[in-house]
Structure 1
Amino acid sequence: MAYDTLNATFQQNICRICLNRPEAGNAINARMVEEMSEVLTRCTEEQGPASERVTVVVLEGQGDVFCAGGDFEAISNTGSAGDPEPLYDVWLKLSRGPYVSICLVRGRVNAGGVGFVAASDIVIADKSASFALSELLFGLFPACVLPFLIGRVGRQAAHYMTLMTKPVDAQKAREVGLVDVLTENTEAALRQHLVRLAHLQKPAIARYKAYLAACSGNPEEDKAAALVANRDMFTDPGVLAGIRRYVSELKFPWER
């Protein structure tokens, strides 16, 4: 399908999405949010053509800027930023969808662009990457970004980024946990990750991410849910069949 603000390609179990408004710094507008939501919905589907049975989603930006944030020109022209819920829901899909979301970052990331990064499961960045929350300079604050950012880097690091409004370089972003992998060759790093991630099955990813979303990190609070999840997994016929096959044939589930 053709899109106005992004490119989306499906190859085997991988969907690659490229934000494609380089003339506007890949700024987020209503059409981009609508198209992103449509693509991620396709990636969620369990049935349908092979191109829709996606286990890995890769998000990147066209040109020298990953994403400059919200489209200020559109806001200035209309006098409104529009409804924030559709964009928040896109970030929820990246965070909780039944696939591994990978953000491939090159260049500047600002404001709402940080939301895409913070919502992704894995972030691979090169040394040109920088991250900033500039909202307070305009009398705003990143209300929708913060729930995802706090989950990734912790409350104080997110608080400091918000107050200071200045860009954080790639090395500092790696130190606080916003970036998982800092590399000189993002494509090579992506290929290395895909070799391993290709073995994961969609039902297992979906079950794990649903559990993780509800996991507080407090062992006492999480005990009941952890025990239920563990018991469910070890009574799943597919899981047990894979274990038996490994015991008898020393082959992993993906091996023929």
Structure 2
Amino acid sequence: MDSMNYDTIKVRFQSPVCFIQFFRPQANNTINDLLVEECLSVLSQYEDTATIIVLEGLPEVFCFGADFEATINNNGKVKGPEPLYDLWLKLAQGPFISIAYVRGKANAGGIGFVAACDIVIADETAQFSLSELLFGLLPACVMPFLVRRIGFQKAQYLTLMTRPVPVHQAHAWGLVDAYDATGDTLLRTHLLRLRYLSKQGIVRYKHLMRSLYDLSQSKSLAIEANKEVFSDTENLQRIERYVKTGLFPWEH
């Protein structure tokens, strides 16, 4: 697929690095079916030639989770969580180093992208949240990746509190590996070092890590939990009300 045809992302390839930028400014960089499809297409296209994949968003928002408007406009009938889980699996286990470069807000499914990546770099504006339970939903597909990264209890706390945590807290928890006021400079220094690694060495390393912690084993459980909450009529009503009015379920 030619980069000129992408509708939800911007892609550039500077060997050996493939940069994928989420680009849905009109929708707060939320996730829809097309974004998942286009990201999977890019990874399939470059996984054999790129040694590093960099995910980035916009300066104000990395990724804000599911596109609720798309869910409501399609009467809740979207492709479902499986392609998104497969995308995160590819980032976590694919034959490349995956880097999330986070500026601004990362929420809900945005945390899934962060937790799936091998390395997470951020600037001081970054903040991280899981808002799903506010609507009666669950971060079901996010949790296997998040628990792997920061542990059960910290993932549970982030889920239950539903409020954003700043970058210094995310760094202390291990969700962020490195952050600075000037994230661009920090990203460049990491890429300069990572370029020394051979493709074959990365492939072998990722194969080992997949054997040690195979996220595919949690896939069916996570997908079933996700489908359950998105088939709940009350949850869909909460989402629809939020889309139409901007009000959270407890607001009048």
TM range (shorter): 0.7 to 0.9
Identity of aligned residues (%): 52
After superposition, where does 1:174-193 map in structure 2 within 5 Å? Answer: 174-193=171-190
Partners of 1:22 and 1:63 within 8 A in 2: no
Inter-partner Cα distance in structure 2 for 1:117 and 1:60: 10
Which one-letter code corresponds to 2:178 in the other structure? V
> Which structure is richer in relative contact order (CA contacts within 8 A, separation 6 or more)?
2
Alpha-carbon separation, structure 1, partners of 2:190 and 2:204: 21
- 1:78 pairs with one of 74, 77, 80: 74
Tell whether 2:4 aligns with 1:17.
Answer: no
Identify the residue that residue 127 of structure 2 maps to in structure 1. 130
CA contact (8 A) 1:150 1:158 kept: yes
For the Cα contact (< 8 Å) 1:133–1:166, is it kept in 2? Answer: yes
CA displacement, residues 157-179 of structure 1 (integer Å, 9 cap, x when unaligned): 00111111111110100000000
Q: How far apart in 2 are the matches of 1:63 and 1:186? A: 10
Q: Which residue of 1 aligns with 2:164?
A: 167
Residue in structure 2 matched with residue 58 of structure 1 by the alignment: 54
TM-score normalized by the length of structure 2: 0.81
- The aligned residue for residue 226 of structure 2 is none
Distance in 2 separating the partners of 1:196 and 1:127: 22
| CA distance in structure 1 between the aligned counterparts of 2:33 and 2:164, rounded to whole angstroms | 25
Matched, 1:88 2:85: yes
Q: Is structure 2 residue 105 aligned with structure 1 residue 108?
A: yes
- SS, match of residue 144 in structure 1: coil
Matched residues in 1 for 2:196 and 2:59: separation? 31
Residue 59 of structure 1 aligns to a residue in which SS? Answer: strand
- The answer for the alignment partner of 2:235 in structure 1 is none
CA distance in 2, matches of 1:42, 1:200: 20
Following superposition of structure 1 onto structure 2, how do residues 163-242 of structure 1 map, counting pairs within 5 Å?
Answer: 163-215=160-212
Gaps of 5+ in 2: 214-252
Please say if residues 58 and 103 of structure 2, whose CA atoms lie closer than 8 Å, have aligned partners that are also in contact. Answer: no
Counterpart in the other structure of 1:37: 40
Query: Paired residue for 1:67, among 54, 63, 66?
Result: 63
Q: CA deviation at 1:63?
A: 4.0
Question: Partners of 1:67 and 1:180 in 2: how far apart?
Answer: 18
1:22 deviates by: 1.1
Which aligned segments of 4 or more residues in structure 1 are displaced greater than 2 angstroms? none
Give the C-alpha shift of residue 44 in structure 1. Answer: 1.6
1:30, 1:198 → 2: CA distance?
A: 32
The unaligned stretches of length 5 or more in structure 1 are 46-52, 217-256
Number of equivalent positions: 209
Partner secondary structure for residue 171 of structure 2: helix
> What displacement does 1:14 show?
0.6
What's the offset of the Cα at 1:62? 2.4
TM-score by length of 1: 0.80
Aligned equivalents of 1:82, 1:70: Cα separation in 2: 12
| Bigger Rg, structure 1 or 2 | 1
Provide the secondary structure at the position in 2 that maps to 1:18. Answer: strand
Equivalent residue number for residue 28 of structure 1: 31
